[in-house]
Amino acid sequence: MASLAVAGFGKLGSAIVRGAIDAGVVAPHEIMVWARSDARRTQAEAWGLRRAEWPTVLRASRRVLLALKPQVFGTMTAERPVLEPGATFLSVMGGWQARDIGLRMGTDRVIRAMPSVAAAVGASVTALAVPAGMDTEDADFARRLLGAVGRVIEMPESMFDAATAVGASGVGFACLFVEALESAAVQAGMDPAAARELAVGAVAGAGRCLQASGEAPERLREQVTSPAGTTAAGVQALQAGGFGDLVRMAVDAARARAEQLGRTQA
Ligand SMILES: NC(=O)c1ccc[n+]([C@@H]2O[C@H](COP(=O)([O-])OP(=O)(O)OC[C@H]3O[C@@H](n4cnc5c(N)ncnc54)[C@H](OP(=O)(O)O)[C@@H]3O)[C@@H](O)[C@H]2O)c1
C-alpha cells in the first residue's frame, strides 16, 4: 500500500507531488499515481513514482489526492468506485464540493483545498477545509502536503467560492494588471522587454515586501506615496477610474461562477 495515491497527475497534481518529494513529506517510491498521457507517465517514471490504472489508484492508499479535471472526475466516477475502508480524499478540484465528491465516492472523508498556479514554484497560498471530526493525522498530512507548495490557510468550505475568486483567479487578475502596466510602458516608448521586467518586478516586489514584512498593503502603499508625488498622482487616477469597484466586480463575478460550477458539476 502506498503512502499517497494521486488520481490526476497533470499540472497541479505533478506540482504538489514535486513539492512534497522535495520537502521530504513523502518519498517517490511511496507514491502511486494515475497519469493519463504518455508524457505524464514518462515523467512519473522518471521521478521514481509507481503507477496504477484507474480505478485501482483510488484504493492504492489510505490517502488519495484528487487532482483531476472537474468534468473528467464526473465521468470517471459515474460508476461508484470500490475504496479502501477509512481512506481519506484530499480534493484540489474546482467546482466539486466535498459533500458531492463524498456522494460520488461513497465516503464522508473528504478534505477540500484550493491552491493556485503558484504551487508550481512553491508560492501558492492554499485554502484548506477540513471537515469537523476528521482525524488529526489525516488533516495534518493534508496540511504538510499542501504546505510543501506554499502556505496553507484553513477556513470553512462555505468560503471556498470566495477563496477561489481571490486566491486562484486572483493570480489571473494580477497578471492582467501586469499586462496593463507593461502595455502602458510600451506606449510611453519603452523597449518591450524592459517594460515587462519592470511591470513584473513591481507586482512581484510588492508581493514579496508584503509577505516578508507582514504589513498591511495600505502601509506599504503609504511608504511609497509621498504627498503630491508620482505614486500619489497615479493612485488618484486609478481611484477616479473606479479601480476598487472594478476589482470587487471581478471577484463577485468569479465567485458567482465558482458557485454555479459547484451546482452544475455534481
Ligand atoms: N492548475 C492550477 O493552477 C489549479 C489551481 C487550482 C485548482 N486546480 C484544479 O486542479 C485540478 C487539476 O488541474 P490541472 O491544471 O492539473 O489539470 P490538467 O493538467 O489538465 O490535468 C488534470 C488531470 O486530468 C487529466 N485529463 C485532462 N484532460 C482529460 C480528459 N479529457 N480525459 C481524461 N483525463 C484528462 C490529465 O491528464 P494529462 O495531464 O496526462 O493530459 C491529468 O491527469 C482541476 O480540477 C482544477 O480545477 C488547478
**pLDDT tens-digit profile of 171-196?**
999 999 999 999 999 999 999 999 99
Does residue 125 have a pLDDT over 80? yes
Q: In the predicted model, what is the mean pLDDT of residues 240-249?
A: 98
As a whole number of angstroms, the distance between CA 94 and CA 113 comes to 9
Do 135 and 167 lie in one domain? The reply is: no
Mean pLDDT value across the chain:
96
Q: Given pLDDT bands bounded at 50, 70 and 90, which one contains residue 135?
A: confident
- Choosing from 68, 77, 92, 114 the residue with most ligand 1 atoms within 8 A of its CB, the one to mutate for a pocket test is 68
Residue 223, domain extent: 163-262
Domain finish residue from 155, 177, 211? 155
Residue 29 Cα distances to 40, 47, 150, angstroms: 16, 9, 23
Q: Residue with C-alpha cell 486609478?
A: 238
pLDDT tens column, 188-235: 999 999 999 999 999 999 999 999 999 999 999 999 999 999 999 999
Clarify whether residues 74 and 109 are in a common domain: yes
State the closest ligand 1 atom to the C-alpha of 119, by its place in the atom list counted from 1.
3
Q: Which atom of ligand 1 is nearest to the CA of 35?
A: 43
Indicate whether 131 and 110 sit together in one domain: yes
What is the spatial distance between Cα 147 and Cα 63, in angstroms, rounded to a whole number? 16
Number of domains in the chain: 2
Of 131, 155, 179, the residue that ends a domain is 155
Strand 110-114 and strand 150-154: the pairing is unpaired
pTM metric for this prediction:
0.94
Please give the sequence-ordered ranges of beta strands (E in DSSP) within the chain, or none if there are none. Answer: 4-7, 31-34, 50-51, 63-66, 88-91, 110-114, 124-129, 150-154
Q: Which residues line ligand 1 (CB under 6 A)?
A: 8-13, 35-37, 40, 67-70, 72, 92-94, 114-117, 168
Final residue before a domain boundary, out of 155, 172, 189: 155
Contacts of 91 (CB under 8 A, 6+ apart): 66, 67, 98, 101, 110, 111, 112, 113
Q: Does the pLDDT value for residue 265 go beyond 90?
A: no
Dig out the grid coordinates for 84 from the structure.
479502501
